[in-house]
Structure 1
Amino acid sequence: MGNIKKVDIEEPEIPLIYDLNMGIPVTPIDRISLMSPDDFEKFVSEWAYGYLKPIYSMVKLYGGAGDKGRDVVGYLKNGKIDIYQCKHYDNKLTPTQYWTELGKLCVYTYEKHYGVPENYYIVTSKGIGTKLSDLINDPKGLKRQLISNWKKHCETKINSDKVHILEGELLKHVEKFDFSIIKEVSINTIIDQHSQTIYFKFRFGGGIKKRPRLIMEDPHVDEENNNYVVELFEVYSQDLSKKIETISELKKHKKYYNHFVRQREAFFSVTALKRFIRDEYIGDNVFMDFRTSIYKGIIDVLETDHISNYAKVNQVLQIARSIQIDSRNLPDIFVDDRSGACHDLVNDEKVSWLD
């Protein structure tokens, strides 16, 4: 299994399911039962990052043979911890399969590798069997059974280089241990919690939300410092042979003001698209691929000589609106998104309307 790995929880990669509207026609619980241990670990990582991380001040994933009985640890603001043991089994979990894990919890808290958790949650791919479930609901009975099974399942099996004989202070620790902290989290609960994350659609299918309708407000003075606005105002100034620096000045020139309103709507549309993709598709990569496609489609026209920068803007935007986009991994792409992507490129100083 290798040495212990302890890492801050990182954002998982998008699972390789390309048809988000269909997915694979298998229910989530059945799909989990078919998962390999590695895929189950990825599923747990998605759940921990997407659902648990906002709940705790910090979440860490532990892995490897030396994890000391901790797969996922949620750190509470009061300094205490919750432990989640997430295991992939072929059948429902039995007491015999789990005595060693409970022994680890007792030994490593006794040796102060970590504090006694507020809650110790057992998560398995197939769920917990009746016998173990009954013991979890009877903490004193669970303690008695663990002590009875210690020699066979814990004494030499917690780690390979040390024998943990249940006597003396260790025995006192186990006898005083509050086993009511041990709880089951059903796989259905995990699926429900996972469904509240952005990863669910990629893991199990089901499609994405529809983009909300864009609600525009009137142009505001605060927007005048945006780079794409500054450049458009300079383009208008050149065409008018008159300096335009504010929206109120531009309003006196209906043709150019109406042009600006259209460009502003396009910029807001693509900004909303960027936000929607970030929320629904995990990060900015999908949006950046879309914007790169627009860039590659317009750059030759942008760098061609034009009779004026105003003519350049309009010719480039016309080209942008006609660019065909591979939309398999995208939501609805509107005409304004294509032209808005040009202004987004200007805003990020990737291109310029000015010679």
Structure 2
Amino acid sequence: MSTSQRSSGLPAQSTFTELPMPSQAPVTVVSPMMALPPALTPKQRLVHYSPDEWEEFIYEWVRSLREAGYVDVVGMGGSNDRGADIAAFLTSQKTDGRWHCYQCKHYDKGLGPSTAHPEILKIHSAVAERQYTVLPERYVFVAPRIGGTLIQLLAKPSSLKVSFFDWVKRNSAKLAQEYAGGLLERALDLADRSEFSRFEAGNLDTILEQHASTPHHVQRFGTPLPNRPAQEPAPAQHAPEEARYVQQLLDVYHEKWGCSPSSPAEATAHPRAGRNLQNQREAFYRAEQLRMFARDSVPEGTFESLQEAVFSGVVEVEEDDFPTGWARLKAVLAAARDMELGTNVLLQVVDPDDRKGICHQLANHDRLTWVQGEEG
């Protein structure tokens, strides 16, 4: 017997019974180093944009400024932009008439006078050269960061003008070579006679707030879609634009219950056909509301892509043999309800009635047919 056994008083051949541990799910401990970093805000993402991405973003924003009364907005950026990256026209005369200029700058540091002054000279020289007929009424510097010195100068146009001419004086020899043939003198004469209150800086918070109302915002920044408005009931009177899909439903009801294929009123009065017709019309108008919501909330073609995904998923079901059009209709709507639709951004707000309604949109254009006849 060992010393430890003797001192404990235990018999030499003691037996211990190991009790089973209660079962429980494994616990995963995540190190702080493994935690996902917080998602970047839209403002933080903009800081990391390339100059081209920044200009595309500003172009989207300017095009959304409906209250400004622009008749057209064009991108004019490039190596020879003549002082205007984006031009917004207030009349059909374009730069021969009233217009606004947006100058896009994207640097690691805040935009300062050393960058703004050459652009101010450039726009005046472009008008002095008759590249543009008149100066823009507004000239907006748009940058992720605007330095404090430039903000102060823009807030006091008279000081901005003094600062500009001081910069010209310090760089007169270089500028005379760059703007040769008397162009510098003509540009400075125009600048001396012009109002510097036209120069301003875009506020990034305001720009983002206004850009959020465009169809590009969700795709660009991955933000959630806005809430869809409440759905209005389907109108009591059938509209001309729903004639074809309704006719297809009347054909189904005629085959199944003997309702007249030319009388929506007769189908409406039927206890089962009437209820089904109302449900299908509600779904159609639900999908129409989604189409209009997509027009204002996501890039062009997004809804059409969703519609094509639904068609691709149900067309082979529609092509199968069914004893009745009713059976085909039910099978297609069930397939649309249950199918995977990929990664379309609209899926955030799509519900089963939208899927059914898209099928009726497709039937409205004879891309889906419920009663196919013997030749099918």
Q: TM-score when scaled to structure 1?
A: 0.81
Q: Distance in 2 between matches of 1:224 and 1:181?
A: 49
CA contact (8 A) 1:224 1:246 kept: no
Counterpart of 2:20 in structure 1 is none
3-state SS, counterpart of residue 304 of structure 1: coil
Q: 1:83 aligns with which of 91, 96, 101?
A: 101
Counterpart of 1:120 in structure 2 is 139
Counterpart of 1:4 in structure 2 is none
Larger mean CA deviation between 257-266 and 137-146 belongs to 137-146
CA contact (8 A) 1:52 1:59 kept: no
Aligned residue type for 2:366: E
Counterpart of 2:26 in structure 1 is none
Q: Distance in 2 between matches of 1:316 and 1:24?
A: 42
Counterpart of 1:278 in structure 2 is 295
Residue 335 (structure 1) shift: 2.1
3-state SS, counterpart of residue 79 of structure 2: coil
Q: Name which one, 1 or 2, has greater alpha-carbon Rg.
A: 2
Counterpart of 1:246 in structure 2 is 263
Matches of residues 128-277 of structure 1 in structure 2 within 5 Å?
A: 128-130=147-149, 132-150=150-168, 153=171, 162=180, 164=182, 166-167=184-185, 169-223=186-240, 226-241=243-258, 243-277=260-294
Question: Kindly tell me: are residues 205 and 298 of structure 1, through their superposed partners in 2, closer, same or farther at Cα, counting changes over 3 Å?
Answer: closer
Question: Kindly tell me: are residues 34 and 136 of structure 1, through their superposed partners in 2, closer, same or farther at Cα, counting changes over 3 Å?
Answer: same
Q: Distance in 2 between matches of 1:196 and 1:160?
A: 42
Q: 1:105 aligns with which of 89, 106, 123?
A: 123
Aligned residue type for 1:100: P
CA contact (8 A) 1:233 1:244 kept: yes
3-state SS, counterpart of residue 76 of structure 2: strand
Q: Distance in 2 between matches of 1:230 and 1:339?
A: 16
Residue 211 (structure 1) shift: 2.9
CA contact (8 A) 2:285 2:357 kept: yes
Q: CA RMSD in A?
A: 3.0
CA contact (8 A) 1:121 1:183 kept: yes
Residue 240 (structure 1) shift: 4.2
Counterpart of 2:45 in structure 1 is 31
CA contact (8 A) 1:100 1:154 kept: no
Counterpart of 2:321 in structure 1 is 305
Counterpart of 2:331 in structure 1 is 315
Counterpart of 1:3 in structure 2 is none
Aligned residue type for 1:146: F
Deviations 1:191-227 (A, max 9, x none): 3332333333333343122333323145314358521
Aligned residue type for 2:125: V
Q: Distance in 1 between matches of 2:81 and 2:340?
A: 50
Counterpart of 2:73 in structure 1 is 59
CA contact (8 A) 2:259 2:267 kept: no
3-state SS, counterpart of residue 60 of structure 1: strand
CA contact (8 A) 1:221 1:246 kept: no
Mapped pair 1:348 → 2:353: no
CA contact (8 A) 1:69 1:105 kept: yes
Q: Distance in 2 between matches of 1:229 and 1:158?
A: 75
CA contact (8 A) 2:176 2:184 kept: no
Q: Distance in 1 between matches of 2:241 and 2:306?
A: 26
Question: Kindly tell me: are residues 121 and 322 of structure 1, through their superposed partners in 2, closer, same or farther at Cα, counting changes over 3 Å?
Answer: closer
Tell me the number of residue pairs that the alignment of Structure 1 and Structure 2 aligns. Answer: 331
3-state SS, counterpart of residue 226 of structure 1: helix
Q: Distance in 2 between matches of 1:119 and 1:154?
A: 27
Residue 248 (structure 1) shift: 1.8
Q: Distance in 2 between matches of 1:322 and 1:163?
A: 73
Residue 128 (structure 1) shift: 3.1
Residue 71 (structure 1) shift: 1.0
Gaps of 5+ in 1: 1-21
CA contact (8 A) 2:98 2:137 kept: yes
Question: Kindly tell me: are residues 310 and 195 of structure 1, through their superposed partners in 2, closer, same or farther at Cα, counting changes over 3 Å?
Answer: closer
Residue 241 (structure 1) shift: 4.5
3-state SS, counterpart of residue 305 of structure 1: coil
Higher-RCO chain (CA-CA 8 Å, sequence separation at least 6): 1
Deviations 1:140-171 (A, max 9, x none): 3433443343366577559968455543x544
Gaps of 5+ in 2: 1-35
Aligned residue type for 2:107: Y
CA contact (8 A) 1:99 1:153 kept: no
